[in-house]
Chain A
């Protein structure tokens, strides 16, 4: 099962870009990289996912390296409401029940 490694915590100034890294060196060819976030003790919220191309939506951008062994989630203009725990996981159709969330990165956005 592909596992991920994330830094435990990061700080970011309000209005600046937040770049959250994730290593997933054992990712297999049909597994996607997913990012979720959890604000306070709410249920995790889906942010974005990708296979090998860079992806962008209204919330964030996802940059995946060419060898797919790592990725970066970018919040282009972080606000105080983006303070949360961010989880990077890998998951595919064949291993839907086997991916793990890990402990994530606690992002603190400061005024």
Chain B
């Protein structure tokens, strides 16, 4: 059981370049999430997918798009990277059933936009 995996671990982009961050989970969880964490700050939700086939905006969706490819995979795309998107990106998943919803996080992708 690998849990939640993210690729790549590190990435440097130039302003205006695009890239896709990949996330996969092997826990058969219904829900998946993308967060960003700026230095010294807490996590802010970018997008989430409550179940396969659905996606919704979180607190800070501007500049990002997501795809819930299947139940296992949830990708985050930056179409035109900006320096303000320099951050650590965490993917998470949760079972999201009954009345509890424990999240499990991946190791993060450290993105620098120059």
Give A residues with C-beta under 8 Å from B. Answer: 30, 32, 34, 36, 41-46, 49, 51, 85, 87, 91-93, 96-97, 100-104
| Interface residue B82 (Cβ < 8 Å from any Cβ of A) | no
**Contact between chains at A97 and B33 (CB < 8 Å):** yes
Give B residues with C-beta under 8 Å from A. Answer: 4, 31, 33, 35, 41-45, 48, 50, 56, 58-59, 88, 90, 92, 94, 96-108, 110
Q: How many A-B residue pairs have CB under 8 A?
A: 67
In the complex, chain A residues whose CB is within 8 Å of the CB of B59: 100
In the complex, chain B residues whose CB is within 8 Å of the CB of A43: 4, 90, 92, 105-108
**Closest CB in chain A relative to B7 CB, distance in Å:** 14
**Nearest CB in chain A to that of B43: its residue:** A101
**Contact between chains at B42 and A102 (CB < 8 Å):** yes
**Contact between chains at A30 and B99 (CB < 8 Å):** yes
**Contact between chains at B101 and A96 (CB < 8 Å):** yes
**Closest CB in chain B relative to A85 CB, distance in Å:** 8
Alpha-carbon gap, A34 to B50, bound state (A)? 18
Q: What are 28 residue pairs bridging A and B, where the CB atoms are less than 8 Å apart in the complex? A: A30-B99, A32-B100, A32-B101, A34-B102, A41-B88, A41-B108, A42-B107, A42-B108, A44-B103, A45-B105, A46-B102, A46-B104, A49-B102, A51-B99, A92-B101, A93-B99, A96-B48, A96-B50, A96-B94, A96-B96, A97-B33, A97-B56, A97-B58, A100-B42, A100-B59, A101-B42, A101-B43, A101-B44
